[in-house]
Amino acid sequence: MRVSLWTCLGVAALHAADRAAYGADSNAAFLKALRDRGWDDTAVEYLEWVEASPLATPEFTGNLAFQRASSLVSQARQSRDRSERERLLNQAAADFEAFAAKQEDPPLAIDALRQAANIYAEQALVAIAESRQLGPDANAERDALVAKAGTLFGKATDDVTQVVDVTTKEIAALPKAAEIQSDPAAKAKRDQLRDRQVEARFLRARLAFEGAATLDRDSADFAKQLNAASKQFGELIEEYRKSLVGMSSRFFQGRCAQELGEYEKALSCYEDITRGDATSAEARRLTARAHRYRTETLLELGKTDEAIKRSDEWLRQSPPAERQQPEWIEAGYRLADALQAKIAEGKLSDGDAKKMEAHARSLVREAALRPNEFRQQAQVAMATGSAGGASGGDAKTFEEAFTAGKAAIDLWNSANLAAKQARESNPDAAGGLLEQAATNRNEARRMLEKAVSLADAETPIDQLNTVRYFLSVLYWEEKQYQEAAVLAEFLVMRYPESDYAASAAKVALAAYEALAMEAKSAAGSQADAVSYEALKLIQLAEVVATRWPESTEASSATNALIQTALRENRLAEAEALLERLPAESRGPAQLSLGAGLWTQYLRATSANREAPAAEVLAIREKAGKLLGDGYAAAKTKGAPSASSAAGILYLAQFLLANGDAEQAIAVLEDANVGPLTLLGKGAEAAKNPQFVLETYKAALRAYLSANQPDRDKAKQMMEALDKAVGADDAGKLTDVYLGLGVQLQRQMKELTTMGQPDKAAQIATAFGDVLQRISARPDANDWRVRGWIAQTNLQLGQELTRDEAKPYLDRARSAFEAMLKAAAEDPKYAPSPAAVLSVRMQLAQCLLAAGEQTAAVEQFGAILKENPNVLDLQKSAAVALQQLGVQKQDLAAFNRSIQGDLPQKDGRNLIWGWQRISSVANAARMQQAKVSPVTEESRQRTLRFENLFYEARYNVAKSRYLAGKIAEPAKRREQLEAAKTNIEQMAKLYPGLGGPAWKPLFDELLKQVNQELTEKPTEKS
């Protein structure tokens, strides 16, 4: 609601100079017509055009800046977007000030300054009101709003002081009074200047009073500013005692005294007003306000009886029409406070107390039903039962049921609001309030259904459609989606011109969407066709988008279609639907579609240890583009919805996957829509526990991954994770950290794939903090947790170079050895023999990564002695022998990697070597290929054996090649020729050489072998 300080004096604030100077100008007339129709954006465009038009009059073009600023103000009033509204108002105020600074005509400069001052004052009052609505934990946001209000009050005061100075100077320059009396024009100018001067003086005093709210109430500055304001009001009283200016100044003198705790002084001020004989409507409203504050003051002084007597008498004598106005309702609400205070004294008889309680209840109910300052408090009071409940009883007519139903809906909303507030201030009461809300909701439904049954041909159709709409909402709230969908759809299709048709469309779309999701869930894997409910959703969405193409409902309908397409995995259709939305409305849909694609990418890569395929990477990039565009749009809007907030969080995850931690941090910390900001504000969109955890995890990753890792903020995020999960669920918190570790490892792998090993190494270094955090947890000795810590250190070491890898590999080795020792001492420690085997294999891998090939071969041999047929283990042993050959420059090691090692009594080698691995893998591949019927599992097994076959054959040739590079001249050609023969024979037998995964490797190896063969031994260094 707009707050104007000028209107306290009943003066017109806008376009005063416009009417006086441009009444006969056709440009001005056209501009006024545009504004009268609410086409303020067109008015701004028209002003830009006319500025260069030769047809515009000099008078009009000379005041374009004033006109443009006025149009910006009107445009701001119609904007629903808070940031856009503030931007337009700030620009308008600056334009008014700039116009005033250039004006040689004082009246025009005065009007421009008045407009600027009013804009600043209005914004300051809004900021103060918003600061008072914040919860007890939002101290930082409250301080920011109060500081903002202080700045705005200062700007308003500067402008209005200029008005006082200019008008004072102009009045002093006027001719003497006798000369003015004979000159009507001079007399009109004097009167106007005096009006402007007194307005400005009053506003300056009022700004001082309102601005005190930005100061600490216990500070000397607070008292000093209120006393200064009171003095200014006093000066106005002396000069204008019998006018509305004097009356208003006396009222605010009382307000200053009341704020300072000087209640007797305040009471004297209010008494002067309430005892007066107010005749004008404005004076009557001021009198009503004085009665309200008089009651407050008397209660502070403990004069309850006096507060009740005078206020009650005055209200009863007021005309009924006046008693419905906000000022009278607010006075009645304060009278209800006085009545409750009297009852609390405990001195009344039961009968008198009940009468007084009923009177108080009626006053509070009146405040709850009509617009006024106390409406929300009154609704909460009704919801908590202090003002009584509502029951329609046994309604006999449609009107009775309709009225009772609306009252019950008000009570239902009030109880929900009270419950929300209670969660923060009085959690124990929240449960009872929710029960009260449910009772009121049930009563609302009962009465509205009764109203439908009582409707007849004489029932006003608008009222009946109102009942239908509210019933559909109630059905939705009770998860009766079928009833909600059918009733809301009926209203949309049968009465599209109804005031509630568009709102009913939202209910119907949401209900059909819920039904479609239920149908899909029930069908499970059998859901091949689109369900009836999904078809209804699509049909209704198409109707809404066609019937109200430019409305928010059309955007909601298209969004519903997009969500349906996403659920059905029809991504191309979802993208096409996105283009149907107006560009300015695409943000939420872009975030939803981007989130769907990002989820699809995560699913495609979650179980894949290899680099993502090109088509999968394309999905990721498309997701990132959509999420980025949606985020850019969301920044210019108000608070995001839960789904949009999730999309913004996905954008941060995408940026982290791309190695752009700094940009991810900027998104997470965005002042308007950042997930961390939403959590700090306690925003509704950030209530989901999973959203909370994922936000803290993403922020932790970002702070650890930044070019300059922020360990302090990372620590704060870990503490926030601890708090979010709770101390009683240590296992869940450990799982969170384990999941975070998986994400960081995946991020390192993706960075390495994208050619950014330095960033991967940086993340590994910072990741140590997370590992230490997990290691210090109570369940860190759990086999699963301990194994994850060791395995993570091993994987980090494998991703890094030798020097960077050493500390991680050392920690991994110590952890694996400790686990094996604990398992040997306590047979119940390890979950299974297979788990022990896995740790032994990883210990061997750790030795191999650390360059201890001999120890690794021994470890693999010891394991193979018990489990000789484990192919992965045999492959790792062959790799160890191959690397041992490189490390020791040992031809025999290369040969053993091919032929096998550790001969047994039966003549076979315990370590098979690449050659036997290839034979076993090929045989298994051929056998698996014969399995019928072919299933996805059997196909994957065939591919696994096929991949291992080509890997083994490749390494046979590679070991020969590596041996040739280090062999003496006499053996060198023999090894290289053997490598060449191996590759050429494979090419003849298997022309495809394993396809894209292996053929390039074979080709490159053959190229290297041929190059070595063309060189003479003496050319080797």
Residue 465 falls inside a structural domain = yes
User: Which pLDDT belongs to residue 8?
Assistant: 41
Q: Of the candidates 162, 190, 213, which is a domain's last residue?
A: 213
Residue 485 falls inside a structural domain = yes
837-867 b/e (C-beta count within 10 Å ≥ 16 → b): bebbbbbbbbbbbbbbbebbbebbbebbeee
**What's the pLDDT tens digit per position in 304-350?**
999 999 899 999 999 988 988 999 999 999 999 999 999 999 999 98
Q: Of the candidates 183, 213, 243, which is a domain's last residue?
A: 213
CATH number, domain with residue 574: 1.25.40.10
User: Which pLDDT belongs to residue 4?
Assistant: 44
User: Which pLDDT belongs to residue 786?
Assistant: 83
User: Which pLDDT belongs to residue 211?
Assistant: 94
User: Which pLDDT belongs to residue 563?
Assistant: 74
Residue 244 falls inside a structural domain = no
Q: Of the candidates 179, 194, 213, which is a domain's last residue?
A: 213
478 has a pLDDT exceeding 70: yes
With contact defined as beta carbons under 8 Å apart, do 416 and 379 qualify?
no
Among the residue ranges 346-360, 610-624, 811-825, the one predicted with the least confidence is: 610-624
1009 contacts: CB under 8 Å, gap ≥ 6: 957, 961, 964, 976, 979, 980, 983
User: Which pLDDT belongs to residue 1020?
Assistant: 45
Mean pLDDT on 650-660: 89
52 has a pLDDT exceeding 50: no
Query: Is the model more confident about 954 or about 73?
Result: 954
Domain count for the chain, please give it.
Answer: 2
With contact defined as beta carbons under 8 Å apart, do 385 and 436 qualify?
yes
Query: Any idea which residue has 């009946």 for tokens?
Result: 464
CA distance 160 to 164: 6
With contact defined as beta carbons under 8 Å apart, do 416 and 440 qualify?
no
Mean pLDDT on 252-281: 92
**What's the pLDDT tens digit per position in 81-95?**
677 788 889 988 998
User: Which pLDDT belongs to residue 683?
Assistant: 83
CA distance 634 to 648: 9
13 has a pLDDT exceeding 90: no
User: Which pLDDT belongs to residue 46?
Assistant: 46
Residue 94 falls inside a structural domain = yes
Residue 114 falls inside a structural domain = yes
User: Which pLDDT belongs to residue 100?
Assistant: 87
Mean pLDDT on 630-634: 90
**What's the pLDDT tens digit per position in 751-810?**
777 777 777 777 777 677 667 777 777 767 888 778 878 888 887 787 777 677 888 888
As given in the structure block, the two tokens for residue 728 are 């009683």
Query: Is the model more confident about 732 or about 373?
Result: 373
669 has a pLDDT exceeding 80: yes
User: Which pLDDT belongs to residue 850?
Assistant: 87
User: Which pLDDT belongs to residue 474?
Assistant: 94
With contact defined as beta carbons under 8 Å apart, do 605 and 631 qualify?
no
Mean pLDDT on 972-996: 92
Residue numbers of the domain that contains 108 = 79-213
62 has a pLDDT exceeding 90: no
Give the model's confidence band at 981: pLDDT under 50 very low, under 70 low, under 90 confident, else very high: very high
Give the model's confidence band at 22: pLDDT under 50 very low, under 70 low, under 90 confident, else very high: very low
Q: What is the mean pLDDT of the chain?
A: 82
User: Which pLDDT belongs to residue 838?
Assistant: 84
**What's the pLDDT tens digit per position in 543-601?**
887 777 766 677 777 777 777 777 666 777 777 777 777 777 778 888 888 888 888 88
How many other CB atoms sit within 10 Å of the CB of residue 405? 28
With contact defined as beta carbons under 8 Å apart, do 879 and 885 qualify?
no
182 has a pLDDT exceeding 60: yes
How many other CB atoms sit within 10 Å of the CB of residue 241? 13
30 has a pLDDT exceeding 60: no
The secondary structure element, H or E, covering residue 802 is helix 802-825
With contact defined as beta carbons under 8 Å apart, do 717 and 763 qualify?
no
Percentage, residues of the chain above pLDDT 70: 84
Report the range out of 43-47, 631-635, 936-940 with the highest average pLDDT: 631-635
Q: How far is CA 344 from the centre of its chain?
A: 45
The DSSP result for 51-99, as a single string, is TT-TTS-HHHHTTHHHHHHHHHHHHHHH---HHHHHHHHHHHHHHHHHH
CA distance 6 to 915: 95
CA distance 704 to 707: 9
Percentage, residues of the chain above pLDDT 90: 33
196 has a pLDDT exceeding 50: yes
Give the model's confidence band at 711: pLDDT under 50 very low, under 70 low, under 90 confident, else very high: confident
Residue 694 falls inside a structural domain = no
User: Which pLDDT belongs to residue 331?
Assistant: 94
**What's the pLDDT tens digit per position in 859-895?**
888 899 888 888 888 998 999 899 888 888 988 999 9
**What's the pLDDT tens digit per position in 387-424?**
444 555 678 899 988 988 888 887 788 777 777 766 66
43 has a pLDDT exceeding 60: no
Residue 723 falls inside a structural domain = no
The DSSP result for 336-355, as a single string, is HHHHHHHHHTT-S-HHHHHH
Residue 493 falls inside a structural domain = yes
726-763 b/e (C-beta count within 10 Å ≥ 16 → b): eeeebeebbebbbebbebbbbbbbbbbeeebbebbbbb
**What's the pLDDT tens digit per position in 898-911?**
999 999 888 889 99
Query: Is the model more confident about 1011 or about 55?
Result: 1011
